[in-house]
Structure 1
Amino acid sequence: MSSLKGKRVVVLGGTSGIGLAAAKAFLDESAQVIIASRSASKLSDAKVKIGGNAEGYEIDFRSEEKVADFFKKVGKFDHLVVTAGEGAMGHFSELPVATVREAFDSKFWGQYISVRAALPYLNNESSITLTSGVYGVRPPQGATTLASINSAIDGLVRGLSVDLAPIRVNVVSPGIVDTPLYGGMSEDQRQVMYHGIAKQLPVGRVAQPKDIAETYVYLAKNGFTTGTSVLIDGGAHLI
């Protein structure tokens, strides 16, 4: 595998959860890390948590103009990681179409737009790693929207790996992870949910962000991996 020492890595969504853990993992590999988020306060907090010399930018990656301006400021870089994007849960017959479109704008179109804007600044040895999720493979009730978005991202990656070659394009597909995504629940509610899921999983626990983060590093370093969806779900697709 190639070294990441001195390589410039952009992590969109790198201020919390999986994105923050990924930014830390790249810094541990001696990469130069640039993180971006819609929240200025989250950026400040993340830079403190990450340490090192990470650069930080505020950006709404659903806006083509703002994303283009961001990459113009960043300039040439080596690897792109996108973990940002919000989904929507709810029964198909009850979830408003406007909510579904907003979720697509965030998680699917946000990643699509980011790749388009990043291309002029990448090189033939670069990699792009997007994020989908296990619901694209095994959706529970109420996850039709996320199943659709995640499946679309997986398909996008397969197409991009051909269209953008020799740039490598892959996708990480996590299962349930203990992240701020569930911050709307009380601590007790979260722990009850995690405990119930952990009992079902072959690995016996839910993932921590660092469990997922290492996969982004692997995909950036392994020069022979492209067009691949890496499912990291603790065996959830088997139950």
Structure 2
Amino acid sequence: MASLVQTRVLVIGGSSGIGEAVARRSAESGADVTIASRSADKLAHAAESIGHGVRTAVLDTGDNGAVERFFNDNASWDHLIVSSAATARGGMRAMTLEDAYASMDSKFWGAYRAVRAARMADGGTITLVSGFLSERPSAGATLQGAINAAIEGLMRGLALELAPVRVNAVSPGMIDTPLWDDMPQTRKRELLAGAAKHLPVGRAGRAGDIANAVHYLMITGFATGSVVRVDGGGAIA
């Protein structure tokens, strides 16, 4: 397996949650890590928490001009991870079309813009983050399932189009991250505990679980066009 020592790693969405965990795992493995997101404050806090000389870059993947300028102004990357997303929750008829469009733009088109503009080193890797709803849809999360499936379809095509750059996806299940912090803490605990009861592993996922899967895809040279599901058995339960 390859090493991340002295490789250049960019984590878009690296200021919290899964992205921050990926950045931490990469930095601890000797990589030169840059985290990017829209919030300078969150980036600064995450960089201080991670340490290891992590760099920061304010970047909005909804702004294609800014995305292109960022990649043009930087040297090529050995590894790119895109985990940033903001998607609305709710059923199709309960959600406004504006929220649906914004969700698709954030998670799918945000990743598309980043990968389209990215300058990658030979033998580099790109890892996208989808979600297990692509395989096991929920009546209350139809849009999220469709977006995740679209990301996985994009990944497979890119693995052919961008070769020898390796392109993969990690598909998380229910993960305890700040994504859920917009709901009351009591409700969040109930949600995670309820999910854990139905999982073979008996607990909700942690951001570090997903970081381990991303790390595996970065250092395993025979992995491309693959979806690694890390859902505690949610897709089969």
TM bucket by the smaller chain? Answer: over 0.9
Match of 1:196 in 2: 194
Q: Gaps (5+ residues) in structure 2?
A: none
Distance 2:7 2:20 in 1: 18
Match of 2:176 in 1: 178
Distance 2:45 2:122 in 1: 34
Match of 1:43 in 2: 43
CA drift at 1:93:
1.8
Distance 1:16 1:195 in 2: 22
CA offset digits 1:2-39 (Å, max 9, x no partner): 11100000000001000000000001110000100100
Find out whether 1:208 has 2:206 as its counterpart.
yes
Match of 1:150 in 2: 148
CA drift at 1:195:
1.1
* RMSD of aligned alpha carbons: 0.9
Distance 2:34 2:79 in 1: 10
Match of 1:79 in 2: 79
Distance 1:13 1:147 in 2: 20
| Contact persistence 2:129–2:169 (CA under 8 A) | yes
CA drift at 1:188:
1.7
Read off the aligned partner of 1:229 and give its amino acid letter: V
Q: TM-score under structure 1 normalisation?
A: 0.97
Choose which of 122, 125, 129 in structure 1 pairs with 2:120.
Answer: 122
Find out whether 1:53 has 2:58 as its counterpart.
no
Match of 1:67 in 2: 67
Q: Which has the higher strand share?
A: 2
Distance 2:51 2:203 in 1: 28
Question: What secondary structure, in the 3-state scheme, does the structure 1 residue paired with 2:183 have?
Answer: coil
Match of 1:34 in 2: 34
Q: Gaps (5+ residues) in structure 1?
A: none
Distance 2:111 2:177 in 1: 20
| Contact persistence 2:28–2:52 (CA under 8 A) | no
Distance 2:4 2:57 in 1: 22
Distance 2:109 2:42 in 1: 22
After TM superposition, what 4+ stretches of structure 1 lie above 3 angstroms from structure 2? none
| Contact persistence 2:15–2:36 (CA under 8 A) | yes
